[in-house]
Amino acid sequence: MNHIQLHEGFPLLPHPRARAIIDTAALTHNYNTLMSPILTVSPRTHAIAVVKADAYGHGIRPVVSTLLEAGCRSFAVACLEEAVALRKLLRELLVGAASDEEADVLVLGYTDPRNVSLLSAYRIATTLLSAEYAARLLDAAREAEVTVKVHAALDTGMNRIGFPAHTEAEITEAVAAIQDLWQTGASDPDRDEGGLILDGIYTHFARADEDFDTEMKQADSLTMTQYARYRRVCEGLEALGIRPRVRHICNSAAAIRFPEVCPEGCLDAVRLGISLYGYGVSRPDGQDAPLKPVMRLESIVTHIHTLLPGETVGYGGTYRADTPRTLATLPVGYADGWLRSFAGAEVTLHTKEGDVTAPTVGRICMDQCMVDVTGLPVEVGTPVTLFGNTTKQLESLALRAHTIPYELLCLVTARIPRIYEAP
Protein backbone atom coordinates (compact mmCIF):
# COMPACT_ATOMS: atom_id res chain seq x y z
CA MET A 1 0.00 0.00 0.00
CA ASN A 2 1.06 3.58 -0.62
CA HIS A 3 0.08 6.53 1.54
CA ILE A 4 -0.91 10.01 0.41
CA GLN A 5 -1.98 13.05 2.37
CA LEU A 6 -4.35 15.63 0.92
CA HIS A 7 -3.44 18.02 3.74
CA GLU A 8 0.30 18.46 3.17
CA GLY A 9 0.99 19.75 6.66
CA PHE A 10 -0.20 16.55 8.33
CA PRO A 11 2.35 13.89 9.35
CA LEU A 12 2.14 10.43 7.83
CA LEU A 13 1.11 8.24 10.76
CA PRO A 14 1.62 4.47 10.65
CA HIS A 15 -1.67 3.88 12.49
CA PRO A 16 -4.23 6.57 11.55
CA ARG A 17 -7.51 6.89 13.45
CA ALA A 18 -9.36 6.76 10.11
CA ARG A 19 -8.41 6.30 6.49
CA ALA A 20 -9.89 6.12 3.02
CA ILE A 21 -8.69 3.07 1.13
CA ILE A 22 -8.51 3.73 -2.62
CA ASP A 23 -8.76 0.45 -4.53
CA THR A 24 -6.98 1.09 -7.83
CA ALA A 25 -7.87 -2.40 -9.10
CA ALA A 26 -11.55 -1.49 -8.70
CA LEU A 27 -10.92 1.71 -10.67
CA THR A 28 -9.34 -0.25 -13.53
CA HIS A 29 -12.23 -2.72 -13.41
CA ASN A 30 -14.79 0.08 -13.66
CA TYR A 31 -12.98 1.77 -16.53
CA ASN A 32 -12.83 -1.47 -18.53
CA THR A 33 -16.41 -2.43 -17.61
CA LEU A 34 -17.72 0.90 -18.87
CA MET A 35 -15.63 1.10 -22.03
CA SER A 36 -16.02 -2.50 -23.21
CA PRO A 37 -19.66 -2.26 -24.40
CA ILE A 38 -19.04 1.22 -25.79
CA LEU A 39 -16.06 0.07 -27.86
CA THR A 40 -18.08 -2.92 -29.09
CA VAL A 41 -20.55 -0.62 -30.86
CA SER A 42 -18.26 2.39 -31.39
CA PRO A 43 -14.60 1.33 -31.72
CA ARG A 44 -13.38 4.85 -32.46
CA THR A 45 -14.74 6.28 -29.22
CA HIS A 46 -12.29 7.14 -26.45
CA ALA A 47 -12.89 7.97 -22.80
CA ILE A 48 -12.66 11.41 -21.24
CA ALA A 49 -12.14 10.66 -17.55
CA VAL A 50 -13.65 13.33 -15.30
CA VAL A 51 -11.23 13.86 -12.41
CA LYS A 52 -12.48 17.16 -11.00
CA ALA A 53 -12.72 17.80 -7.24
CA ASP A 54 -9.51 15.84 -6.64
CA ALA A 55 -10.96 12.90 -8.56
CA TYR A 56 -14.23 13.05 -6.63
CA GLY A 57 -12.31 13.01 -3.36
CA HIS A 58 -10.24 9.94 -4.19
CA GLY A 59 -6.93 11.71 -4.76
CA ILE A 60 -5.85 12.90 -8.18
CA ARG A 61 -2.45 11.17 -8.27
CA PRO A 62 -3.48 7.53 -7.76
CA VAL A 63 -6.57 7.93 -9.94
CA VAL A 64 -4.81 9.54 -12.92
CA SER A 65 -1.85 7.18 -12.63
CA THR A 66 -4.18 4.18 -12.69
CA LEU A 67 -6.21 5.50 -15.61
CA LEU A 68 -3.07 6.20 -17.63
CA GLU A 69 -2.02 2.58 -17.10
CA ALA A 70 -5.49 1.50 -18.29
CA GLY A 71 -4.96 3.44 -21.51
CA CYS A 72 -6.92 6.63 -20.85
CA ARG A 73 -5.40 9.74 -22.42
CA SER A 74 -8.13 12.37 -22.03
CA PHE A 75 -9.17 14.04 -18.79
CA ALA A 76 -11.64 16.72 -17.78
CA VAL A 77 -11.77 19.00 -14.74
CA ALA A 78 -13.95 21.87 -13.58
CA CYS A 79 -11.60 24.85 -13.44
CA LEU A 80 -8.20 26.16 -14.52
CA GLU A 81 -6.60 25.59 -11.11
CA GLU A 82 -7.40 21.89 -11.35
CA ALA A 83 -6.25 21.78 -14.97
CA VAL A 84 -2.83 23.31 -14.31
CA ALA A 85 -2.23 20.91 -11.41
CA LEU A 86 -3.34 18.01 -13.60
CA ARG A 87 -1.03 18.99 -16.46
CA LYS A 88 1.91 19.20 -14.07
CA LEU A 89 1.04 15.74 -12.77
CA LEU A 90 0.73 14.34 -16.29
CA ARG A 91 4.13 15.74 -17.22
CA GLU A 92 5.57 13.95 -14.21
CA LEU A 93 3.78 10.65 -14.80
CA LEU A 94 4.44 10.54 -18.52
CA VAL A 95 8.19 11.05 -18.29
CA GLY A 96 9.71 8.58 -20.71
CA ALA A 97 6.62 8.55 -22.92
CA ALA A 98 6.68 10.34 -26.25
CA SER A 99 5.52 13.43 -24.38
CA ASP A 100 2.72 14.58 -22.14
CA GLU A 101 1.02 15.73 -25.35
CA GLU A 102 -0.35 12.21 -25.45
CA ALA A 103 -2.87 13.35 -22.82
CA ASP A 104 -5.61 15.94 -23.33
CA VAL A 105 -6.93 18.17 -20.54
CA LEU A 106 -10.30 19.95 -20.80
CA VAL A 107 -11.83 22.52 -18.46
CA LEU A 108 -15.59 21.97 -18.32
CA GLY A 109 -16.34 25.29 -16.63
CA TYR A 110 -15.38 28.96 -16.76
CA THR A 111 -11.85 30.23 -17.38
CA ASP A 112 -11.19 33.96 -17.07
CA PRO A 113 -10.00 35.17 -20.50
CA ARG A 114 -7.19 37.05 -18.74
CA ASN A 115 -5.67 33.63 -17.99
CA VAL A 116 -5.43 32.69 -21.65
CA SER A 117 -1.63 32.47 -21.53
CA LEU A 118 -1.87 29.75 -18.88
CA LEU A 119 -4.23 27.78 -21.10
CA SER A 120 -1.69 27.93 -23.90
CA ALA A 121 1.40 27.27 -21.78
CA TYR A 122 -0.12 24.17 -20.16
CA ARG A 123 -1.87 22.92 -23.30
CA ILE A 124 -5.30 23.08 -21.71
CA ALA A 125 -8.53 23.20 -23.70
CA THR A 126 -11.36 25.22 -22.21
CA THR A 127 -15.11 25.43 -22.71
CA LEU A 128 -16.86 28.17 -24.67
CA LEU A 129 -19.81 29.19 -22.50
CA SER A 130 -21.46 31.48 -25.06
CA ALA A 131 -20.83 33.46 -28.22
CA GLU A 132 -20.06 36.55 -26.13
CA TYR A 133 -17.57 34.62 -24.03
CA ALA A 134 -15.96 33.15 -27.16
CA ALA A 135 -15.41 36.67 -28.52
CA ARG A 136 -13.74 37.78 -25.27
CA LEU A 137 -11.53 34.69 -25.19
CA LEU A 138 -10.54 35.18 -28.82
CA ASP A 139 -9.65 38.82 -28.22
CA ALA A 140 -7.54 37.83 -25.20
CA ALA A 141 -5.74 35.10 -27.17
CA ARG A 142 -4.88 37.46 -29.99
CA GLU A 143 -3.72 40.17 -27.62
CA ALA A 144 -1.46 37.65 -25.85
CA GLU A 145 -0.43 36.11 -29.22
CA VAL A 146 -1.21 32.59 -28.04
CA THR A 147 -3.27 29.75 -29.48
CA VAL A 148 -5.77 27.88 -27.31
CA LYS A 149 -7.93 24.83 -27.95
CA VAL A 150 -11.60 25.21 -27.09
CA HIS A 151 -14.73 23.04 -26.92
CA ALA A 152 -18.05 24.71 -27.69
CA ALA A 153 -20.71 23.80 -25.13
CA LEU A 154 -24.32 23.65 -26.31
CA ASP A 155 -27.19 24.30 -23.91
CA THR A 156 -29.72 21.74 -25.12
CA GLY A 157 -31.72 21.47 -21.90
CA MET A 158 -29.42 21.54 -18.90
CA ASN A 159 -29.84 25.33 -18.76
CA ARG A 160 -26.49 25.92 -17.12
CA ILE A 161 -23.91 27.03 -19.70
CA GLY A 162 -23.50 26.89 -23.45
CA PHE A 163 -24.73 28.31 -26.74
CA PRO A 164 -28.57 28.17 -26.49
CA ALA A 165 -29.90 25.32 -28.68
CA HIS A 166 -33.47 24.61 -27.59
CA THR A 167 -35.58 25.94 -30.48
CA GLU A 168 -35.01 25.87 -34.23
CA ALA A 169 -34.19 29.57 -34.09
CA GLU A 170 -31.61 29.04 -31.34
CA ILE A 171 -30.11 26.08 -33.19
CA THR A 172 -29.73 28.22 -36.30
CA GLU A 173 -28.13 30.99 -34.24
CA ALA A 174 -25.75 28.53 -32.56
CA VAL A 175 -24.62 27.19 -35.94
CA ALA A 176 -24.08 30.73 -37.22
CA ALA A 177 -22.14 31.77 -34.13
CA ILE A 178 -19.84 28.73 -34.27
CA GLN A 179 -19.42 29.20 -38.04
CA ASP A 180 -18.44 32.82 -37.42
CA LEU A 181 -15.84 31.69 -34.90
CA TRP A 182 -14.50 29.14 -37.39
CA GLN A 183 -14.39 31.62 -40.26
CA THR A 184 -12.40 34.20 -38.32
CA GLY A 185 -9.45 31.90 -38.91
CA ALA A 186 -9.28 31.14 -35.19
CA SER A 187 -9.05 27.42 -35.94
CA ASP A 188 -5.72 27.82 -37.74
CA PRO A 189 -2.91 26.90 -35.29
CA ASP A 190 -0.32 28.65 -37.46
CA ARG A 191 -1.75 32.14 -37.06
CA ASP A 192 1.02 34.34 -35.71
CA GLU A 193 -1.41 36.70 -33.97
CA GLY A 194 -2.85 33.90 -31.84
CA GLY A 195 -6.38 32.59 -31.72
CA LEU A 196 -8.60 29.66 -30.87
CA ILE A 197 -8.71 26.13 -32.23
CA LEU A 198 -12.25 24.75 -32.16
CA ASP A 199 -11.23 21.29 -31.03
CA GLY A 200 -14.53 19.96 -29.70
CA ILE A 201 -18.28 20.40 -29.29
CA TYR A 202 -20.46 18.88 -26.58
CA THR A 203 -23.57 19.13 -24.47
CA HIS A 204 -24.49 17.82 -21.04
CA PHE A 205 -27.46 15.58 -20.33
CA ALA A 206 -29.62 16.69 -17.40
CA ARG A 207 -31.38 13.40 -16.64
CA ALA A 208 -29.55 10.56 -18.37
CA ASP A 209 -29.25 8.67 -15.08
CA GLU A 210 -33.04 8.45 -14.66
CA ASP A 211 -34.81 9.53 -17.86
CA PHE A 212 -36.03 6.39 -19.64
CA ASP A 213 -38.76 3.79 -19.65
CA THR A 214 -38.36 0.03 -19.92
CA GLU A 215 -38.99 0.13 -23.66
CA MET A 216 -36.49 2.96 -24.20
CA LYS A 217 -38.96 4.56 -26.62
CA GLN A 218 -40.12 7.75 -24.87
CA ALA A 219 -40.66 10.31 -27.61
CA ASP A 220 -40.69 13.14 -25.09
CA SER A 221 -37.66 11.92 -23.15
CA LEU A 222 -35.52 14.92 -22.19
CA THR A 223 -32.36 12.98 -22.92
CA MET A 224 -33.47 12.07 -26.43
CA THR A 225 -34.68 15.65 -26.97
CA GLN A 226 -31.28 16.98 -25.96
CA TYR A 227 -29.59 14.45 -28.24
CA ALA A 228 -31.74 15.55 -31.18
CA ARG A 229 -30.93 19.21 -30.56
CA TYR A 230 -27.22 18.48 -30.36
CA ARG A 231 -27.35 16.49 -33.59
CA ARG A 232 -29.17 19.36 -35.35
CA VAL A 233 -26.32 21.73 -34.47
CA CYS A 234 -23.64 19.23 -35.54
CA GLU A 235 -25.46 18.50 -38.79
CA GLY A 236 -25.75 22.21 -39.48
CA LEU A 237 -22.03 22.67 -38.97
CA GLU A 238 -21.14 19.60 -41.04
CA ALA A 239 -23.19 21.01 -43.92
CA LEU A 240 -20.85 24.00 -43.78
CA GLY A 241 -17.76 21.79 -43.73
CA ILE A 242 -17.16 22.32 -40.01
CA ARG A 243 -16.42 19.25 -37.88
CA PRO A 244 -14.49 19.68 -34.63
CA ARG A 245 -12.06 16.87 -33.81
CA VAL A 246 -13.87 15.68 -30.67
CA ARG A 247 -17.65 15.45 -30.51
CA HIS A 248 -18.90 14.21 -27.16
CA ILE A 249 -22.35 14.07 -25.65
CA CYS A 250 -22.73 10.83 -23.65
CA ASN A 251 -21.80 10.42 -20.06
CA SER A 252 -21.51 6.81 -18.94
CA ALA A 253 -25.17 6.74 -17.83
CA ALA A 254 -26.35 7.79 -21.30
CA ALA A 255 -24.12 5.28 -23.06
CA ILE A 256 -25.46 2.43 -20.94
CA ARG A 257 -29.11 3.47 -20.55
CA PHE A 258 -29.77 4.91 -24.01
CA PRO A 259 -28.42 2.33 -26.45
CA GLU A 260 -30.29 3.99 -29.31
CA VAL A 261 -27.75 6.82 -29.24
CA CYS A 262 -24.93 4.31 -29.72
CA PRO A 263 -22.78 4.10 -31.70
CA GLU A 264 -23.54 7.51 -33.17
CA GLY A 265 -24.31 9.06 -29.78
CA CYS A 266 -20.97 8.05 -28.31
CA LEU A 267 -19.36 9.90 -31.20
CA ASP A 268 -15.65 10.55 -30.69
CA ALA A 269 -15.62 10.42 -26.89
CA VAL A 270 -17.70 9.54 -23.86
CA ARG A 271 -17.27 11.33 -20.53
CA LEU A 272 -16.87 8.99 -17.56
CA GLY A 273 -17.47 10.59 -14.17
CA ILE A 274 -19.02 9.11 -11.01
CA SER A 275 -19.26 5.69 -12.66
CA LEU A 276 -15.46 5.40 -12.67
CA TYR A 277 -15.63 5.49 -8.89
CA GLY A 278 -18.32 2.81 -8.68
CA TYR A 279 -21.65 4.64 -8.59
CA GLY A 280 -24.46 6.17 -10.55
CA VAL A 281 -25.27 3.78 -13.40
CA SER A 282 -28.13 1.29 -13.81
CA ARG A 283 -28.88 -0.64 -16.96
CA PRO A 284 -32.22 -0.30 -18.79
CA ASP A 285 -33.42 -3.52 -17.12
CA GLY A 286 -33.09 -1.80 -13.76
CA GLN A 287 -30.06 -3.82 -12.71
CA ASP A 288 -26.94 -2.07 -11.48
CA ALA A 289 -23.94 -2.12 -13.76
CA PRO A 290 -21.22 -4.41 -12.33
CA LEU A 291 -19.13 -1.61 -10.86
CA LYS A 292 -17.03 -1.69 -7.71
CA PRO A 293 -16.63 1.06 -5.08
CA VAL A 294 -13.16 2.58 -5.35
CA MET A 295 -13.17 4.29 -1.94
CA ARG A 296 -13.64 2.50 1.38
CA LEU A 297 -13.85 4.68 4.51
CA GLU A 298 -12.45 2.93 7.58
CA SER A 299 -11.94 3.69 11.26
CA ILE A 300 -11.51 1.87 14.58
CA VAL A 301 -13.26 1.55 17.92
CA THR A 302 -11.44 3.77 20.42
CA HIS A 303 -13.66 3.48 23.51
CA ILE A 304 -16.39 1.22 24.91
CA HIS A 305 -18.73 2.04 27.78
CA THR A 306 -22.15 1.19 29.19
CA LEU A 307 -25.12 3.52 28.78
CA LEU A 308 -27.43 3.20 31.77
CA PRO A 309 -31.24 3.18 31.44
CA GLY A 310 -32.56 6.73 31.24
CA GLU A 311 -29.23 8.19 30.13
CA THR A 312 -28.83 9.95 26.78
CA VAL A 313 -26.08 10.04 24.18
CA GLY A 314 -24.23 13.06 22.84
CA TYR A 315 -25.38 16.60 22.06
CA GLY A 316 -29.05 17.28 22.53
CA GLY A 317 -29.77 13.90 24.10
CA THR A 318 -31.62 12.69 21.03
CA TYR A 319 -31.18 9.02 21.98
CA ARG A 320 -32.25 7.70 25.41
CA ALA A 321 -31.60 4.16 26.64
CA ASP A 322 -34.53 2.07 27.90
CA THR A 323 -32.23 -0.75 28.95
CA PRO A 324 -28.48 -0.97 29.57
CA ARG A 325 -26.67 -0.52 26.24
CA THR A 326 -23.05 -1.03 25.24
CA LEU A 327 -21.70 1.85 23.19
CA ALA A 328 -18.56 2.05 21.08
CA THR A 329 -17.00 5.39 20.17
CA LEU A 330 -15.47 5.94 16.72
CA PRO A 331 -13.01 8.83 16.14
CA VAL A 332 -14.78 10.20 13.04
CA GLY A 333 -17.37 12.93 12.67
CA TYR A 334 -18.73 15.55 10.35
CA ALA A 335 -15.35 17.31 10.13
CA ASP A 336 -14.16 14.13 8.40
CA GLY A 337 -17.19 13.93 6.09
CA TRP A 338 -19.23 11.59 8.32
CA LEU A 339 -22.27 13.88 8.34
CA ARG A 340 -24.74 14.68 11.10
CA SER A 341 -27.48 13.40 8.81
CA PHE A 342 -25.93 9.92 9.05
CA ALA A 343 -27.31 9.50 12.59
CA GLY A 344 -28.89 6.06 12.78
CA ALA A 345 -26.87 4.66 9.88
CA GLU A 346 -25.33 1.22 10.25
CA VAL A 347 -21.60 0.57 10.10
CA THR A 348 -19.73 -2.71 9.70
CA LEU A 349 -17.49 -3.89 12.54
CA HIS A 350 -14.88 -6.51 11.70
CA THR A 351 -14.72 -8.56 14.89
CA LYS A 352 -12.62 -11.63 15.61
CA GLU A 353 -15.78 -13.70 15.25
CA GLY A 354 -16.74 -12.18 11.89
CA ASP A 355 -18.38 -9.08 10.48
CA VAL A 356 -21.35 -7.54 12.25
CA THR A 357 -23.39 -4.39 11.69
CA ALA A 358 -24.50 -1.87 14.28
CA PRO A 359 -26.35 1.47 14.21
CA THR A 360 -24.95 4.85 15.17
CA VAL A 361 -26.89 6.45 18.04
CA GLY A 362 -27.28 10.06 19.04
CA ARG A 363 -26.01 12.97 17.01
CA ILE A 364 -22.82 12.71 14.98
CA CYS A 365 -20.24 15.03 16.58
CA MET A 366 -17.58 17.02 14.78
CA ASP A 367 -14.87 14.46 15.51
CA GLN A 368 -16.59 11.41 17.00
CA CYS A 369 -19.71 9.28 16.82
CA MET A 370 -21.22 6.51 18.93
CA VAL A 371 -22.42 3.06 17.87
CA ASP A 372 -24.72 0.68 19.77
CA VAL A 373 -22.77 -2.62 19.98
CA THR A 374 -24.87 -4.27 22.69
CA GLY A 375 -24.30 -8.05 22.64
CA LEU A 376 -21.66 -7.88 19.94
CA PRO A 377 -18.04 -9.15 20.32
CA VAL A 378 -16.55 -5.68 19.89
CA GLU A 379 -13.47 -4.40 21.67
CA VAL A 380 -11.22 -1.36 21.58
CA GLY A 381 -9.25 -1.53 18.34
CA THR A 382 -11.92 -3.37 16.36
CA PRO A 383 -11.73 -2.20 12.72
CA VAL A 384 -14.83 -0.50 11.29
CA THR A 385 -15.95 0.14 7.71
CA LEU A 386 -18.26 3.12 7.41
CA PHE A 387 -18.89 2.68 3.68
CA GLY A 388 -17.36 1.13 0.59
CA ASN A 389 -17.70 -2.63 1.00
CA THR A 390 -20.62 -2.43 -1.46
CA THR A 391 -22.17 0.34 -3.52
CA LYS A 392 -25.37 0.01 -1.48
CA GLN A 393 -23.70 1.35 1.68
CA LEU A 394 -22.92 4.80 0.26
CA GLU A 395 -26.18 4.91 -1.69
CA SER A 396 -28.07 4.26 1.56
CA LEU A 397 -26.18 7.08 3.28
CA ALA A 398 -27.00 9.37 0.35
CA LEU A 399 -30.71 8.65 0.76
CA ARG A 400 -30.46 9.34 4.49
CA ALA A 401 -28.75 12.67 3.79
CA HIS A 402 -31.11 13.58 0.90
CA THR A 403 -28.19 13.84 -1.47
CA ILE A 404 -26.19 11.73 -3.95
CA PRO A 405 -23.01 9.62 -3.72
CA TYR A 406 -21.10 12.30 -5.69
CA GLU A 407 -21.42 14.77 -2.83
CA LEU A 408 -20.57 12.29 -0.09
CA LEU A 409 -17.36 11.18 -1.79
CA CYS A 410 -16.26 14.78 -2.25
CA LEU A 411 -17.05 15.57 1.38
CA VAL A 412 -14.51 13.11 2.82
CA THR A 413 -12.18 15.81 4.08
CA ALA A 414 -8.47 16.40 3.67
CA ARG A 415 -7.64 15.26 7.20
CA ILE A 416 -8.53 11.68 6.21
CA PRO A 417 -5.42 10.12 4.62
CA ARG A 418 -5.94 8.27 1.36
CA ILE A 419 -4.25 4.88 1.33
CA TYR A 420 -4.17 3.48 -2.16
CA GLU A 421 -3.86 -0.19 -2.96
CA ALA A 422 -1.97 -1.17 -6.08
CA PRO A 423 -2.73 -4.57 -7.65
Check if the beta carbon of residue 299 is closer than 8 Å to that of residue 333: no
- 52 noted as active-site residue: yes
> Is 315 annotated as catalytic?
yes
Catalytic residue, from 88, 217, 315, 392: name it. 315
User: Of 31, 52, 227, 279, which residue is the catalytic one?
Assistant: 52
Q: How many CB atoms lie within 10 A of CB 422?
A: 13
Pairing assessment for the beta strands 346-351 and 383-387 based on DSSP bridges: antiparallel
Q: Return d(Cα 87, Cα 93) in angstroms, integer.
A: 10
Quote the Cα angle for 61-74-251, to 5°. Answer: 105
CA distance 320 to 187: 68
369-372/354-361 β-pairing: antiparallel
Cβ(222)–Cβ(206) below 8 Å:
yes
Phi, psi for residue 148 in degrees, rounded to 5: -130, 135
d(CA 187, CA 232): 22
Length of the chain in residues, anyone? Answer: 423
Q: Is 371 helix (H, G, I), strand (E, B) or coil?
A: strand
CA 111 vs CA 80, 89, 158, 182: distances in Å: 6, 20, 20, 20
Which positions are annotated as active-site residues?
52, 315
